[in-house]
């Protein structure tokens, strides 16, 4: 009896030890059972110039890894690496093989193998193996300027038509020297693109470069050869009168931002600062849209003259600096053309388009914005009444609105603005038939001629 119980006690202890060890093995991180996780970038293309990134992660730590590369022309091992580490996460770069030029095949396979430090699998650890396939693309996109406006002036517009060819084209844009990107639209025949450009009036220099990138990361750039014509704009030092401030105070009642402010000078600064910025941001955002899927076959734009028999009361680009009793207050740029005729005069558009905004917009009062295609937009501010709604397709010479003095306006007039992909440009160019012919119509004509002969 005694012997038997002591032996069963021994068995129990033995069993407890076995269970204990099993539990330890099962729950201990030393015996973790998850294989390393291997990840690589999702891109299927590689230009054999930039290294590829590989990430290996493991709960217990990585013991070793191995990377091999195989091209479809022969199974020569192109690269081999092995390292002992115990890190839980490794970020590796796979350098392009030194004899990259010798790789003739179009496909490459990268095999990543990794082992962890776990004692699982009878101390062998867990292992993972993953194969990644890449298509080799060493060729840069083919870029060529086909035709462009001969010159661009500060605050003005221009047109460029170019060719861009690549099997794996990813991004295509025209960048200026201030980082603004213009988005081109397909033009006329496959592989050709068109875009309007704008030299922002506040920028002292301008340079436009077409940039094309492909899925493998190859980049091609082509400079648009525009002759730059600097144009100076008026700088006005305006001393604010008490009468002007009284008008401002009356206006300030219309705006949420100046509700709490009682001081007329502060009200003026708020209107000219944050309120103006918010109103302009709305205009810039709406007019930045370009339909990249729409193919442009032609851009027959008519000379704009929104108001018949109107007098210009303020020019585009005026830099206004405001003072009160010799003290500098704030400044602003006038980014449109102010036209005045009779009160509540009829505003008409000489070009068809689609209404993208028809509502109150702060300092601009009741405002309409029309998209005419190719990133070309017109805006009409301070209107007494709007005759169109968002989404309306408008015809040539259709009545859009009547002039007024809503928003920040001292008298009945139209604030007329033109935007090219979110940049205000000088309306006078687009009011000049000769300018339109030389810079838009003729460029499209000569581009088509070149493309047809290509």
Which two three-digit tokens encode residue 384?
């007494």
Nearer to Zn ion, 154 or 415 (CB): 415
Residue linked to tokens 């000078």: 265
Reference 373, options 405, 336, 421; nearest CA is 421
Reference 153, options 435, 388, 445; nearest CA is 435
Task: Supply the minimum distance, in Å, between the C-beta of residue 279 and Zn ion.
Answer: 12
Nearer to Zn ion, 336 or 422 (CB): 336
Nearer to Zn ion, 415 or 426 (CB): 415
Task: Supply the minimum distance, in Å, between the C-beta of residue 266 and Zn ion.
Answer: 23
Nearer to Zn ion, 289 or 320 (CB): 320
Nearer to Zn ion, 103 or 400 (CB): 400
Task: Supply the minimum distance, in Å, between the C-beta of residue 416 and Zn ion.
Answer: 8
Contacts (Cβ under 8 Å, ≥6 apart) of 280: 335
- What's the Cα-to-Cα distance from 276 to each of 223, 281, 282, 333, rounded to whole Å? 34, 8, 10, 10
CB atoms within 10 A of CB 306: 23
- What's the Cα-to-Cα distance from 23 to each of 4, 33, 58, rounded to whole Å? 28, 13, 21
Does residue 365 contact residue 380 with C-beta atoms inside 8 Å?
A: no
Angstrom distance (rounded) from CA 4 to CA 7: 5
Nearer to Zn ion, 79 or 428 (CB): 428
Task: Supply the minimum distance, in Å, between the C-beta of residue 428 and Zn ion.
Answer: 14
List residues binding Zn ion (CB under 5 A).
336, 338, 415
Task: Supply the minimum distance, in Å, between the C-beta of residue 305 and Zn ion.
Answer: 16
Task: Supply the minimum distance, in Å, between the C-beta of residue 231 and Zn ion.
Answer: 19
Full DSSP string of 38-50:
EEE-S--EE-SSS
Instruction: Enumerate the β-bridge partners of residue 366.
Output: 360, 383
Angstrom distance (rounded) from CA 354 to CA 371: 5
- Check residue 8 and report its DSSP letter: H
Task: Supply the minimum distance, in Å, between the C-beta of residue 336 and Zn ion.
Answer: 5
Nearer to Zn ion, 114 or 339 (CB): 339
Q: How far from chain centre, in Å, is Cα 130? A: 35
């Amino acid at each position: 009896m005694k012997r038997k119980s002591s032996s069963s006690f021994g068995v129990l202890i033995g069993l407890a030890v076995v269970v204990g060890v099993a539990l330890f093995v099962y729950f201990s991180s030393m015996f973790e059972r998850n294989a390393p996780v291997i990840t690589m970038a999702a891109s299927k293309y590689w230009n054999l110039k930039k290294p590829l990134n590989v990430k290996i992660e493991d709960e217990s730590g990585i013991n070793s890894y191995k990377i091999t590369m195989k091209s479809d022309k022969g199974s020569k091992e192109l690269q081999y690496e092995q390292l002992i580490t115990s890190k839980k996460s490794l970020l590796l770069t796979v350098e392009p093989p030194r004899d990259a030029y010798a790789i003739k095949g179009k496909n490459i396979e990268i095999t990543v193998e990794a082992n962890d430090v776990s004692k699982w699998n009878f101390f062998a650890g867990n292992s993972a193996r993953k194969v990644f396939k890449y298509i080799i693309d060493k060729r840069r996109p083919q870029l060529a300027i086909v035709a462009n406006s001969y010159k661009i002036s500060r605050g003005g517009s221009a047109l460029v038509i170019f060719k861009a060819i690549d099997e794996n084209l990813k991004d295509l844009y025209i960048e200026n020297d201030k980082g603004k990107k213009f988005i081109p639209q397909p033009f006329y025949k496959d592989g050709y693109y068109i875009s309007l450009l704008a030299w922002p009036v506040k920028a002292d220099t301008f340079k436009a470069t077409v940039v094309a990138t492909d899925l493998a990361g190859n980049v091609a750039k082509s400079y648009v050869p525009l002759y730059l014509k600097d144009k100076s704009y008026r700088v006005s030092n305006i001393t604010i009168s008490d009468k002007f401030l009284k008008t401002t105070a009356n206006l300030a009642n219309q705006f949420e931002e100046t509700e709490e402010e009682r001081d007329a000078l502060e009200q003026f600064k708020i209107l000219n600062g944050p309120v103006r910025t918010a109103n302009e941001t709305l205009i810039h955002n709406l007019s930045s849209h370009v339909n990249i899927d729409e193919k442009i076959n032609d851009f027959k734009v008519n000379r704009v003259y929104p108001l018949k028999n109107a007098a210009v009361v303020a020019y585009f680009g005026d830099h206004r600096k405001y003072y009160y009793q010799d003290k500098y207050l704030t400044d602003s740029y006038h980014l449109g053309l102010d036209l005045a005729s009779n009160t509540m005069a009829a505003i008409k558009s000489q070009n068809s388009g689609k209404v993208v905004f028809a509502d109150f917009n702060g300092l601009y009062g009741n405002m309409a914005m029309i998209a005419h295609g190719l990133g070309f937009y017109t805006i009409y501010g301070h209107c007494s009444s709007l005759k169109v709604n968002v989404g309306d397709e408008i015809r040539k010479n259709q009545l859009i609105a009547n002039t007024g003095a809503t928003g920040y306006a001292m008298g009945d007039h139209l604030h007329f603005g033109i935007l090219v992909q979110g940049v205000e440009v000088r309306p006078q160019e687009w009011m000049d038939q000769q300018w339109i012919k030389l810079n838009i119509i003729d460029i499209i004509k000569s581009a088509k001629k070149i493309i047809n002969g290509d």
